[in-house]
Amino acid sequence: MERIKQLYALTDFCLSSSISTLICHDFWMRITEVAIGICLLGVAICIKVYISHELEFRRNKKLVENRKLVADRETMEKHTWKALDIVDDDTSQQDLAEKFRSTLKPQDQ
């Protein structure tokens, strides 16, 4: 408790006197070191946040570029819907219905 009272007295004296006072030199050096440390910590946090955001931006940019890519023609033909190729214009409704009935399994059995 005595130490805290001495520190308070030194702080009070140094704040009220001139910076060039010899006894306050260590006090102002410690204050300066702490202030610089806090600033460096803030800069380090800002750099970390900037780097993480930059990495996320580049990752998202790469994903967008990959989405723009289109597969080659053969792969695209494999994955297109070819239902319109089944129906011929020459077939009548009865023939088409018969084709559907012949391909479907009877559900009653």
Q: What is the pLDDT of residues 28-74, one digit of tens each?
A: 999 999 999 999 999 999 999 999 999 999 999 998 888 777 666 77
Domain membership flag for residue 66: yes
Percent above pLDDT 90 for the chain: 38
Q: In which residue are the tokens 């800069």 written?
A: 43
Residues 13 and 35: their CA atoms lie apart, in Å, by 20
DSSP 8-state symbol, 23: G
Domain membership flag for residue 32: yes
For residue 10, what are its two tokens? 């030194």
What pLDDT, on a 0 to 100 scale, did the predictor assign at position 103?
Answer: 79
What pLDDT, on a 0 to 100 scale, did the predictor assign at position 80?
Answer: 75
Alpha-carbon distances of 37 from 27, 44, 58, rounded to whole Å: 15, 10, 32
Domain membership flag for residue 90: no
Number of domains in the chain: 1
Domain membership flag for residue 38: yes
On the question of pLDDT at 87 being above 60, the answer is: no
Contact 24, 13 (CB under 8 A): yes
Count of all residues that appear for the chain in the document: 109
Domain membership flag for residue 25: yes
Domain membership flag for residue 89: no
Q: Which domain range does residue 21 map to?
A: 2-74
Query: What pLDDT band is residue 93 in, cutting at 50, 70 and 90?
Result: confident
On the question of pLDDT at 85 being above 90, the answer is: no
pTM of the model: 0.51
On the question of pLDDT at 83 being above 70, the answer is: no
Domain membership flag for residue 9: yes
